[in-house]
């Protein structure tokens, strides 16, 4: 929403969004490289609650998932690449710490949360696709994160 235009000029500057996503992609690759090379880094956390590499990686995955679902006027090309790199980092780093997906864990994005998200995006001048495809795509992005997705080339 921070990249959305002003209320008198709504929309997203695709060039700016792509550059931000490109930087996130590079950061995720560097994160993966450093923490695979030095696995003990995975256990280090910032002393500041708002500076967590794990929270940043999760945010990247959430934002790129929304772009992949479809935001009116936003091309998903760079988001696909960023999602793929961030997903790769998350999955490999989860393996480093032997983390396992809990199939009984509650969904992170409830229907109520999705409705609130749509409303917030609308207020910012953005329109998230709102149909069965959109919900299915969000579910598929979640499955890919949990490594339960078996589709070839899934992103």
- Taking alpha carbons only, the member of 81, 69, 71 closest to residue 18 is 81
Residues 6+ apart with CB under 8 A from 40: none
- Taking alpha carbons only, the member of 33, 31, 38, 36 closest to residue 53 is 31
According to DSSP, residue 71 is labeled B
**pTM of the model as a whole:** 0.79
Express each pLDDT in 96-136 by its tens digit. 888 888 889 888 888 898 889 889 988 888 889 888 888 88
Express each pLDDT in 63-72 by its tens digit. 999 999 998 8
Write out the two tokens for 91. Answer: 């999955």
């Amino acid at each position: 929403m921070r990249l959305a235009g002003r209320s008198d000029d709504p929309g997203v500057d695709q060039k700016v969004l792509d550059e931000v996503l490109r930087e996130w992609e590079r950061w995720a690759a560097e994160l993966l490289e450093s923490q695979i090379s030095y696995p003990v880094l995975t256990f280090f956390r910032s002393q500041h609650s708002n500076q967590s590499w794990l929270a940043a990686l999760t945010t990247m995955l959430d934002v790129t998932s929304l772009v992949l679902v479809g935001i009116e006027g936003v091309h998903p090309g760079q988001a696909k690449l960023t999602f793929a790199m961030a997903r790769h980092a998350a999955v490999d780093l989860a393996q480093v710490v032997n983390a396992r997906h809990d199939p009984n864990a509650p969904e992170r994005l409830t229907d109520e949360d999705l409705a609130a998200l749509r409303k917030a995006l609308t207020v910012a001048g953005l329109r998230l696709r709102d149909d069965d495809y959109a919900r299915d795509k969000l579910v598929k992005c979640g499955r890919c994160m949990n490594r339960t997705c078996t589709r070839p080339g899934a992103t």
